[in-house]
Chains A and B, each alone.
Chain A
Amino acid sequence: MSGYRLTSGGNVDRQRPVRFAFDGRPCTGLAGDTLASALLAEGIRLVGRSFKYHRPRGVLGIAAEEPNALVSLRGGGRHEPNIQATMAELHDGLEVRSQNAWPSLGFDALAVNGLAGPLFGAGFYYKTFMGPTRRAWMWFEPFIRRAAGLGPPPRQADPDVYDRNNLFCDVLVVGGGPAGLAAARAAAECGARVALCDERAAFGGSLRGAAREIGDVPAQDWIDAQLAFLAGRGAVLLPRTGVFGYYDGETLGAVERVADHLPAPSSGQPRQRYWTIRTAEVVLATGAVERPVLFAGNDRPGVMLADSVRQYAETYGVACGRSVTVLANNDSGHAAARSLAAAGVTVARIFDQRPEVGPAIRAIAVGIGADLRTGWTVVATHGGKGLHAVTAAPADGSGRAERFETDCLAMAGGWTPAIALASQRGSAPVWSDALGAPLAGVPAPGARWRVAGAAAGRLDTAGCLAEGAAAGHAAARAAGFDAAPSAPPACAAEPVGLHPAPVPRHPDGKAFVDFQNDVKCADVALALREGYVSVEHLKRYTTLGMATDQGRTANVNAIALMAAATGRSPGEVGTTRFRAPAAPVALGALAGRHTGAHFQAVRRTPVQDWHVRHGGVLSPVGPWLRPRAYLREGETIRTAYIREAANVRGAVGLCDVSTLGKIAVEGPDAAVFLDRVYSNAMQSLAVGRARYGLMLRDDGMVLDDGTAWRLSETSFLVTTTTTGAGAVMTHLERLHALFWPGLRVALTSVTSQWAGMSLAGPRSREVLAAALPGTEVGNGVLPFMGLLEARMDGAPVLVARLSFSGERAYEVFCGADHGEAVWERLLQAGRPHGIMPYGTEALGTLRIEKGHVAGGELDGRVSPFNLGLEGLLSRKKAFFGSALLERPGLHAADRYELVGLVSTAGVPLRAGSHLAEGPRTRPGPSQGFVSSTTFSPATGQEIALALVKGGRARIGQDMFAADPVHGAHHPVRLAPPCFVDPEGARMRG
């Protein structure tokens, strides 16, 4: 180990070394370290290169505010770019790589960008890269893209899994520092169900390892005691859990890093867990972030935030330098200096920008033997890839600058409360002059949060404890749990003079405001000069605050700069709106298990396994997978569907139609209800009969088609298309609830309860008879559109004499559990008759030959007139959608009308082709489109259905099916849409 690890102190285990590699260099840290603390302990200060100017950068902060020390972790499928070294916990074998440096971190070629800095000022790219030609940007863009973007992207699938969990509680406390722990305890004492989250690896916040007493015990003991108490009360304690979003109805999103501190998740363990938290009340104890001070070279490795330097010493036992200089504009820097000295870190001098400080503050410097200079500030830093000296001078410019050797400059630029979550929930921030930062405003209507501790601007521990306890109590009471919690413990007073010195009016241009996005004071000045004076314009023009640290250290300094430059108060400048996520979250966590084959659930028909076993080629149809065809040896989909369809016309086939939507419509008014929702008459439907029906949308366009089966006076079974099932169910429920609540009718989706199969073909009756021995199935009992209840090998079946194919056909429905048995029984019965199963392609062929419309035609833009279904529009009644059917646009001369097409050259047509009047070279405007195509085994032709402008009057004409995107242009003849048995004798016979 190098000499930066202190001999004692901190929550690290000096007996447990942890080995890791930084850019291939073997390093050692301790159990309990973050990557940042381990790097600092190793004396590694140069961690990465900056985004734009490739400047050397090191660790600035302690946790989620870190803008500089971004690294790539791990490799292969577990590669992660842009990870804050301050948030990465160390584990054995951790591979760490620096980013944005080529050829190496130490010598980075693009650091030359820094020399040309003024060229790359804010928004320079809006002013150039426009010539010499109009496509100039396409030439420049790849260079810009390669230069931008920090870390390399992952390129392999993630081997880890993510869980989603739900958490319900009465009081959610976000942040487990002193205020959060006190709040959680008070709420739990009142009897509320409490959940406590903290984004860091352990609870305690700034108190972790701090050398001070709470009540009469050391701080760490107090933290442990609170956690033990909360655990005893059944509170949910979630360390390593960042709450990223605060949504309506007190719903919050959080991600728990379950296994990121391990080399790999153990078997079955998720890498991360995404929590949806629903709570009655929220306590936001999210702490505050220290601000940097603005001066030239404030981004040099070794320049850090003062309280972070303090925490590295107290929490991790690491000295960030051998001789620390503090630069303060408020009292908190002095407190940090005192703690550092107590931890054994040398603090040589303290510069305070304020002209004068009080005696208590002065006493700190005296006590630790530091040289205190008030009214002084740092104006420059020195050192190539790490600080070795600073130049300081009187802040008012009155005196001579001096140079001081130092290897760590600790900046105490004031505190910015972390109010992102309150702001997300709709609270407008309110500027606090005392803090020089915005505070959360009042909760938006309906919001149930309180803010406590440093997040509310209380930066002394005693105040945090008291406010936290009060907030926890108030939250519990608001959630209905009122009891008197115990008083918070006492602790020693601290310096609380937080009022920071103002940001200098003209800080040096090379002072960085947003470190990660390389935004300098000069960029802010340039943006203002160019009129980007709204805080949102400034953000967008300079990219300030838009990096992965969400501008935690940048935003408030920028507001102060803008205020100073434009003569407004910071409150008038305002803030940009905080938006989720408060800290970046992995997409994998949000997706949970809904990835890969589990992206969406598959609905399975009762016969699905059979299809797979018998060569069915499955393809998605809505949420289902349906067999397109059953391939035999040597077959293609095309040869298979032609065989299957021809077999239906010639003998008999069986098709799984379980996916059709099925809705039970029952009740005394069921017939009245259906009469209103179908365009054709339904009240007159006799019991034991079925009818084809058309449903229209509110606007008169076709919603869906299907059949209604009247099982009794008061009971119907309605079928829908496969993909329309959900929409039709909602449609019917909506009409019942909103239009005719007085109708006595109940609607139940029974899609999954029934298996359905279509037995079609001239031999279908023989097959059905063989499968239902002893049951009469002749035309007398079961005519076209008739219904029959029977038992097939004991299984109750409902048979409907319906035909989509145009052949004699029966839809056989049975309970889903009997589905495969009934399917097998029908196949067995059909074997002597040459039965074959057929898939959706043959189903399509058969219905195209008959001119029946389906998905290709029912595209949501068609009226009954487009489809030639005027015959299904009752003239005797009003029905849903009828009022808007007479609008002129639906009767325009050039409206689409359904026709059939025959490929006169005998070549296959392609759906999606357009109808054209002219030849390939001058096709003319589109006259319509080809909606469905097939080879027709019944006619031996390549045929299609099409929607053609004024199509009915053009039947018999020759046109072209234009498919220019595939380079095809085929002659077609327009025909009536029904190619087989237009009289319907085959299906009725």
Chain B
Amino acid sequence: MRIPCPTCGPRDLREFTYIGDALRSAPALEADADTWAAYVYTRRNPRGEHLEYWQHSHGCRQFLRVRRDTATHVIHAAACVGPHATEDEA
């Protein structure tokens, strides 16, 4: 797998760390336990298109939101998230 890092270009899988599901949005710290439990413990786990976070851990260390197909491993788009977010095509 090669992931198109918006800052570094297409790079090999081994440079990245899978961070997890990006279908859920991060709860506020003050949110209740049910909200947090749902965030921490449950997943849609789709077969097919998925939104997920990866970190370019052996590169720019940016967090990427990647639109990837879990059945074919095709990567449709990747954008940086966080303080250095790039145009989000995902």
Contacts and interface: CB of A to CB of B under 8 A. Distances in A.
Q: Are chains A and B touching in the complex at the 8 Å CB cutoff? A: yes
Interface of A: 247-251, 276, 278, 426, 444-446, 676, 698-699, 730, 733-734, 736-739, 741-744, 878-880, 882-884, 886-887
Given A251-B1, A737-B83, A878-B30, 15 more contacts: A247-B1, A249-B1, A249-B13, A251-B13, A278-B2, A446-B72, A698-B36, A730-B55, A734-B63, A741-B83, A742-B83, A883-B27, A883-B29, A883-B31, A883-B36
B26 A739 contact: yes
Nearest to B17: A730
A957 B40 CA distance: 39
Q: Which of A249, A444, A730 has its CB near the most chain B CB atoms (within 10 A)? A: A249
B45 interface: no
B86 interface: no
Interface string B16-36: 010100000011111111011
A737 B60 CA distance: 13
Given A734-B19, A739-B26, A445 B63 contact: no
Nearest to A887: B33
B37 to A, nearest CB: 6
B85 interface: yes
Interface class of chain A by DSSP: mixed
Interface of B: 1-2, 10, 12-13, 17, 19, 26-33, 35-37, 39-41, 53, 55, 57, 61-63, 69, 72-75, 81-83, 85
Contacts of A698: 36, 39-40
Given A248-B1, A249-B1, A426 B72 contact: yes
A646 B85 CA distance: 54
A884 B82 contact: no
Nearest to A667: B83
Contacts of B53: 734, 738
B61 to A, nearest CB: 6
Contacts of B17: 730
Contacts of A278: 2, 12
A882 B61 CA distance: 27
A738 B82 contact: yes
A295 B41 CA distance: 60
Contact of B74 (A445, A743, A879, A886): A445
Q: Which of B2, B32, B72, B83 has its CB near the most chain A CB atoms (within 10 A)? A: B83
B47 to A, nearest CB: 14
A698 B19 CA distance: 13
Nearest to B32: A883
Contact of A733 (B2, B13, B61, B73): B61
A887 B2 CA distance: 41
Q: Which of A698, A879, A886 has its CB near the most chain B CB atoms (within 10 A)? A: A698
Contacts of A738: 19, 26, 53, 63, 81-82
Contacts of A250: 2
A445 B75 CA distance: 10
A251 B31 CA distance: 43
Contacts of B30: 878
A930 to B, nearest CB: 31
A734 B2 CA distance: 21
Contacts of A699: 40-41
A664 to B, nearest CB: 14
A659 B77 CA distance: 38
9 contacts: A249-B2, A251-B1, A426-B72, A446-B75, A698-B40, A730-B57, A734-B55, A738-B82, A884-B36
Contacts of B35: 883
A887 B69 CA distance: 35
A203 B31 CA distance: 66
Given A248-B73, A251-B1, A278-B12, A737 B82 contact: yes
B83 A445 contact: no
Given A251-B1, A446-B73, A730-B55, A886 B33 contact: yes
Given A278-B12, A741-B82, A741-B83, A445 B1 contact: no
Nearest to A885: B33
Contacts of A739: 26
A736 B63 CA distance: 10
A761 B62 CA distance: 43
Contact of A446 (B12, B74, B83): B74
Q: Which of A249, A446, A737 has its CB near the most chain B CB atoms (within 10 A)? A: A737
B46 to A, nearest CB: 16
Contacts of B12: 249, 251, 276, 278
B29 A737 contact: no
Contacts of A733: 55, 61, 63
